[in-house]
Chains A and B, each alone.
Chain A
Amino acid sequence: KAGVTQTPRYLIKTRGQQVTLSCSPISGHRSVSWYQQTPGQGLQFLFEYFSETQRNKGNFPGRFSGRQFSNSRSEMNVSTLELGDSALYLCASSPSGSTDTQYFGPGTRLTVL
């Protein structure tokens, strides 16, 4: 099976802009979780989508949002970018949720200038 893919791999934006990141899960997986990874805060959970519904949410401001499509592909959007949003954004897919084995993609490296 093909692994989790994320596009784009690298992105440079300026403050105030918005960005959309994409994640294609492993075929057959219905759960997609998003994480933010930074040197200072480590891996932090953003949200989880399952069957097109947000099932879980971490402690991030409303500028961070996501959605999932009927084919389980997911997107996350960050509006009004801040310098502190610079991070590696990872998505992980699993058959049914967080207590299933999660498989991570390679991440999208976002730099906000």
Chain B
Amino acid sequence: GENVEQHPSTLSVQEGDSAVIKCTYSDSASNYFPWYKQELGKGPQLIIDIRSNVGEKKDQRIAVTLNKTAKHFSLHITETQPEDSAVYFCAASIGTGTASKLTFGTGTRLQVTL
């Protein structure tokens, strides 16, 4: 079936360094790619999203890039801070029109150390 692969599963960086999380998808019809951050005891929170007609999107320290040809997209966090520590999920829309749904990657646990 259609799936989304996410790497790495865990990532440890020092405060101030950059973090990169990568995802690949299999459905060539996918056109929406959100990223979520989930803190302990909370539901996932949207941090940034990108659509297939855009190659890159940036919001302050967070950026997402999309390579439609290679079917992969990445999350970049610069100048990491301790409060960035959380589990991050990528997702891709699977299917078309009203039949579309989001399929999620398996998550990346990011730890930002002092």
Measuring CB to CB, which residues of chain A are less than 8 angstroms from any residue of chain B?
Answer: 4, 33, 35, 42-45, 48, 50, 55-56, 58, 90, 92, 97-99, 101-107
6 smallest CB-CB distances across A and B, nearest first, come from: A104-B43, A43-B104, A99-B32, A98-B101, A104-B44, A106-B43
Q: 8 Å CB contacts to A: which residues of B92-114? A: 93, 95, 98-107
Given contact pairs A56-B101, A102-B34, a sample of 18 additional A-B residue pairs in the complex whose CB atoms are under 8 Å apart: A42-B104, A42-B105, A43-B89, A43-B107, A45-B102, A45-B103, A55-B98, A56-B99, A90-B44, A98-B100, A99-B32, A101-B49, A102-B46, A104-B36, A104-B45, A105-B43, A106-B42, A106-B43
B26 interfacial by beta-carbon distance below 8 Å = no
Of chain B, the residue at the smallest CB distance from A50 is B98
Q: Quick one: CB contact mask for B59-94 with A, threshold 8 Å, 1 for yes?
A: 000000000000000000000000000000100010
Residues of A within 8 A of B95 (CB): 56
Residues of B within 8 A of A56 (CB): 95, 98-101
- Is the Cβ of A101 less than 8 Å from the Cβ of B99? no
